Structures are given as structure tokens and as C-alpha cells.
Structure 1
């Protein structure tokens, strides 16, 4: 028996027998701060593993990597040499080209190709011609896994938040939510100041030609927003090319098709009465704020959208758009009503950003109300996506 064992050589598992889910499992198990040895001989430090991608496109969104060597102080510098972008998983390095990603625009934000078995060159080429490094999980060593970026709490916000009361945390998130509301409002103001004459018609004025594409795009949040916005412009008569539907299929998915039918139904209804002229009176309801919200919900649910999607459109599109119109028309009452309804809205469905930010900030429970939820989105987009702790409102007091 001992002789047989002495001559035994363990075979390397075939890459064809390993599912891609195993690559994903190993990636998400990596400790923050570990060193990732790249195939060209250099290293990345893993600051943040990112968030899971959608049904199509890269497997990971918004990962944060730092070229090595570096100093610990680099993490908190606002202009540190971070790499922020997507990550793609494959069992073999050659699967990138086998799947045609080198011709796919959706993979042009990938900054790292993660594989289990390296059977190709040290770099991967994107559609835009850029080369990205290759990292094989098989090259990880115990030392690289145990070298971490920080000790104790990883981020300043995680040291600060336990010292705050529930009221103080809620106040910060409400403030961040209102900042997001103002950003969306400002974006609509700029769009309304530069109308598209090619879209304005007897049926739709400049307000509608700004609002309707935004509603179409909002119908695709979490799905394929570029496709939905292009579809909205097409329904308005714009000569805009429509990208391939989600999944590079010839037809939209059943869920997307239902939302497109709802959008088409609303447009047909608004051709005679106008979109904004229909919605604006609903915001002027003098009864309780729940009456305003119910009127807006009824409009979209009656067109075939789910209640959850109706609320997403109300919070992300209708209310900031109304505030933008109010600013342009100097209508303080309309602005006040839109902002109050935004603050009072009971909450939106949880999504990947909210869940990820709750884990990042180590919140014991999800914040209540859409304003606080939008505050998490604001913090993520403004600083946490790139882990720019020096400019984060949740941690700057602790740096």
C-alpha cells in the first residue's frame, strides 16, 4: 500500500468538470485586503469585491482594486490609484474569447478577468482594445490570503456608526436622500432647458418629451435601462437606434414586454391630454398626502405596472421632475408638495445597492422610508462605489 501511495500522482481536475459557480464562490470568499497575484507578475490588492452583476453582462459590478505595492494611507486618499470597475468569471481564461466578450460593448468596463485555470495569455482584450489583467484563483497562496489591508474595522464608517444613535443615523441618511433628490431635480432642470424640437408635437410638449423618456428608462431600472430609454424615445418619434434587448435576444423578455406594453398604453392615453398635464393635478390634491400617493399609484398600476414599479417611478422620476418644473416656473407650492411626498413615501423594494450598503455600514436593519433608502444610493454613488472614504459623509468625522 505504501508503495502504491508513493507512486500516486493526484490528477488536476479537468476545467470542463468545474462549474463557473465555483469561481464565483471562491471570489466572494476572498478576504478584503488580500493580494491577488496577476499573470504578468504584478499584484492587485482587493479593497472591495463589488456587487453581483445582473442576468447579462459582467458577473461583478463596481469592484475596487489597488495596484501593489502601496501604503495603508493610500486607502483614505481621495486621488489614490484605485481601479474601479467590473469583474468577469470564467473557469478557463480561453472562455473569454469563446463567449465572444472581446466583441461585446457591455464588457468594456471590466478591469479584471478571474479564472480558475489559466490556458491563455496574461492579458484579456476588451471590445475597445484595452487589455485587462488576468488573475487565476489557482495562484493564491496562504500568505496572500492572510495579508489584509487593515486591522479591526475595515472602513471609517464602520468605526463611526456604532457611536451614533438611531436618530443620528436616520438624520444622516435623510440628508443624503434629499441631496439625491436635488441632484435628480437639477438633472431634469438642465434637460428642460435644452428641449428637443424634433420630439415636440401637437400631442407632446417640451415637458412630456423630457418626462416620457425618463419614465421609460425608469421602467428598466434593474433590467436594461438603455434599451427602455431608447424605446421611449422611439415611441415619441425620435430617430434613435434601439439596442439589442437584454440577453442579446431578438425579443424582449416577458417581463420587459409587459412593461413596454404599459408604457405604450400610457403614451396613447397621454396623446390626447398630455403626460405632465395629467400628472400635475395629482400632486395638487389638497387632502392627506396618502391621497396624492394613491392617485399617482392608480395611474401607473392602472396601466399594468406593478405597485413596486409604480413607486419606483414616482420616487425616482415623477417627484424630482415635478420639483424641476417648479423651479423653472417659480412654483414654490409645487416644489414643497413634491419634496414632502418624497420624504413621506413609505419605502421602495430592497435592491442590491441597499442590501450591500446595509452590510457595508453594518446596519442592523434596513432604513425605513424611501428618502433614507435613496440616501444609501447617494452615499454609494458619491463615495462608496470607489471607496473614497476621505469625501464620504458617513465617515469623514472619523478619518
Structure 2
């Protein structure tokens, strides 16, 4: 199992999808050494250690072979990942690559037993539309931009809706990483909620420092009492952040160079500490309101000097508060809270930065009420830029056209 040659910026899941679904001409296949190839069974996708597909049945020159299939973008991937040193690769009966630029000498690819697996280059057998999309995914821009004539707006809108849902699930999974299961649910939930707020306030370059600050604050700030004013608490917190002599935090460092004043660490740390205070001061039962009124109450409790700006406040509500509330509903088996959080998420429109919209609009897609939502950023980062074309409705529409 490998992630592709260094010159290829994405993982090999697209190539694996092509092989698994036989999205190429299976007629007249030949290995690099001239053997005819007939695929009886392409094998079962392997998600663990070892070759990409196991239990394949491949006929080469009238002889049937049973074993594994390993895929790489180019033959050099085998050498780079040192498969010759793992006995798991002795059962490879066919080495499949997208293209061969002859970057490694003939015979350099060997199994641990010293023999070389037959090499099949798929590029000549892949349909032109799919081949173009595959190659475009190796350069900047949208992989499908050169094939806009095959793509309709409805496929794009359907994919953005899919990405929007996927983004919500992603944010829930990210919050769960902060969940301290040893604590009672109210305390554990508040911890993950505030950790998510801190991390987001650390965008773009202080996320790691903010998370460490959050851990230190949760550990050292002591119980928050009515006698501790929010301003006094923020002062204590900022001492921990910048003057407390925390060696780990000093090693991580705060980045402020080139940042707008509103994004600098001192400003964001104060906002984070104030949010920490208000989230913990608000009675837990307020978070159980299916009207999701607790967020507005938190904002009302914040002093003006520690309140996030309008755009940041919207980001925090949408990408942290709503997933956190959904999680709370899940923890407490409340379908009403879950439904309220996800319904609001689905209805979100707007707030998408121009730099996220541009790659799509310049490729011919219309950015409208159905696509101007946080899922568009998720689509760009975790589908298009990550080379996950085969999981995209636009891609599927293109190769079927």
C-alpha cells in the first residue's frame, strides 16, 4: 500500500478506483514485455498492509495466475516504497501503473524473492475523457476544467450538496478528537466545544498554539466562579498564554508576522478566553434548547472588546457550534437537537471567500444560492485538490458523457 510517487501530488485512490471498476478497455491488454492479459477478477480492495488488491485472477499468455495486484502512478513507486523488502509483496502477480516514463531501469522493480512482477501500463487503455481528467489532476486547477462541455450545472450542485454534508460530518469527527471520555458528559462536551473554538480562532497559523493554550487554560485556570469577572479571567488567561513561562508554548510560538491586527495572537487569545469563560458560565441546560438559543446568549455575555468580528462569529457558529450541538444531541439521544443543528447547517448560504469561488467560476460553474455554502470550500480542499475525482458527481457525469 502506498501513496504515490513524489512527483504526483495526490494519493493513488483515483487509480485504484479505475482498476477496481475496470474503467478502461479490458480488450487486448498487454504487459510491457508483450504478454497478453485477461482479467478474470481484479481482486478485492485491501485497506490494510500489503498490496492494493488481493485474491486477483489474471490470465497471461494462457496461464492463469492467482495472487495480488499492486498499483502505482509510475513504476518508481515500487522502489520508493521499498516493496522489495516486504514479504507481503511476494504474491504480487501484476504491477499496474498509469504511465511509464522509464524513470527506473528495466528490472529494478523486484519482489522480495528477487523476481520481477509483470508490468501493465493502463494509460493506453483508459478512455480519452478519463485519461485527460487523470492527467489534469496532476496540475493546479480543477481536474475537470478542460471538459466543461461534458459537465452540467445540476451535477455540480448535487456534488456541492454532497460536500456540504461531508464537511459537517468532518467537523463532527474533528471535534470528537478533543472529547475527554473520562469526564462527565457536560464537562467533556464543554471541553470539546471550547477546543474547537480555540482552534478556529487560531486560523491561519496559530491553531497548534491555540490548542495548547486551551489545554493549559483548562488545567490551570481553576474553577470559574461568580466572583471571577470575565475581565479578570481574561487577564489570567493572557498571562498563561504570553507570560506564564510555559516552555512547550514557547517552543510552539505565536505567529503574528504579516497578520491583520484582528487576527493577531493577543487579540484572538483574549477572544478565546472570553468564550471559554462564557461557555462554562452558561448553565448546561441552556445548551439543550432545540431552538439553539445558547449561542446568542454566549454572544450577549461577551464584552465588546472580546467579541469576535462578524465574519469570524459566523464561522464559529456554523463550523463549531452547530456540529458541537449535533454531537450533544447524539450523546444525549436527542433527535430534536440533532435535527435543529443539521437543518440550520443545510440552510446556510453565503460567506464563501472569493478565492474559494474563483476556481469553480473560472471553470464555467455558476456560483449561486445552491453552491455558495461552506461545502464549496470542502469540495475544493478535500475533493478537487486532494485528487478525489472518483468520489465526485461532476467527475462521474464527465466520464459518462
Give me the TM-score of the superposition, normalised by structure 2.
0.50
Other-structure match for 1:20? none
Give the direction of change, closer, same or farther, for the CA distance of 1:397–1:300 in structure 2 (3 Å limit). farther
Q: Provide the C-alpha distance between the structure 2 equivalents of 1:328 and 1:281, rounded to a whole number of angstroms.
A: 15
Q: Is the 8 A contact 2:318 2:345 kept in 1?
A: yes
Residue matched to 1:195:
181
DSSP 3-state at the match of 1:259 = helix
Give the 3-state SS of the residue equivalent to 2:264 in structure 1: helix
- Of 235, 257, 270 in structure 1, the residue corresponding to residue 217 of structure 2 is 235
Which residue number in structure 2 is paired with residue 180 of structure 1?
167
What does the per-residue CA deviation read over 1:86-131, in whole Å, with 9 as the maximum and x for residues that have no partner? xxxxxxxxxxxxxxxxxxxxxxxxxxxxxxxxxxxxxxxxxxxxxx
Where does the alignment leave 5 or more consecutive residues of structure 2 unmatched? 21-70, 75-134, 221-245
Indicate yes or no: 2:323 matched with 1:323. Answer: no
1:256 correspondence with 2:265 = yes
Deviations for 1:231-283, whole angstroms, at most 9, x for unmatched residues?
A: 2222112699322111589xx98733112111212223344435x55544484
Counterpart in 1 of 2:379? Answer: 379
Q: In the alignment, what sits opposite 1:341?
A: 344
CA contact (8 A) 1:246 1:253 kept: no
Per-residue CA deviation, residues 359-390 of structure 1 (Å, 9 max, x unaligned), is 5754344x447x85322233234332232433
1:115-264 aligned within 5 A: 155-156=143-144, 159=147, 163-165=151-153, 167-189=154-176, 191-192=178-179, 194-195=180-181, 197=183, 205-237=187-219, 241-242=248-249, 243-246=252-255, 255-264=264-273
Q: Residues 155 and 271 from structure 1, CA distance in 2 versus in 1: closer, same or farther, beyond 3 angstroms?
A: closer
How much does 1:207 deviate?
1.1
SS of the counterpart of 1:159? helix
Give CA-to-partner distance per residue, 1:264-306, whole Å, 9 cap, x none: 12223344435x5554448445xxxxxx886676566854210
Judge conservation of contact 2:329–2:338 (CA < 8 Å) in 1.
yes
SS in 2 for 1:383: helix
Contact 1:161–1:169, Cα closer than 8 Å, also in 2: no
Partner of 1:398: 398
| Residue pair 2:164, 2:375 contacting (<8 A) in 1 also | yes
**Matches of 2:149 and 2:373 in 1, distance apart?**
17
Counterpart CA distance in 1 for 2:270 and 2:301 is 15
Contact 1:308–1:349, Cα closer than 8 Å, also in 2: no
In structure 2, what is the equivalent of residue 358 of structure 1? 360
Q: Secondary structure at the match of 1:195?
A: coil
Change (3 A) 1:244 1:76: farther
> 5 Å matches for 1:233-312?
233-237=215-219, 241-242=248-249, 243-246=252-255, 255-273=264-282, 277-281=285-289, 283-284=291-292, 298=300, 302=304, 303-312=306-315
Task: Provide the C-alpha distance between the structure 2 equivalents of 1:361 and 1:156, rounded to a whole number of angstroms.
Answer: 8
Q: In structure 2, what is the Cα distance between the partners aligned to 1:258 and 1:278?
A: 28
The whole-number CA distance in structure 2 between the counterparts of 1:294 and 1:273 is 11
Distance in structure 2 (CA, Å) of the matches to 1:154 and 1:189:
31
Relative to 1, partners in 2 of residues 1:376 and 1:284: Cα closer, same or farther, differing over 3 Å?
A: closer
Q: Contact 1:219–1:225 at 8 Å: present in 2 too?
A: yes
Rate the CA distance shift 1:351–1:322 in 2: closer, same or farther, 3 A: farther
1:255/1:186 CA distance change after superposition, 3 Å = closer
Query: Structure 2: how far apart are the matches of 1:195 and 1:44?
Result: 39
Indicate if the aligned counterparts of 1:177 and 1:372 stay in contact, CA closer than 8 A: no
Gaps of 5+ in 1: 1-42, 48-63, 67-72, 83-148, 286-291
Larger radius of gyration: 2
Provide the C-alpha distance between the structure 2 equivalents of 1:190 and 1:44, rounded to a whole number of angstroms: 30
CA RMSD of aligned residues (A): 4.5
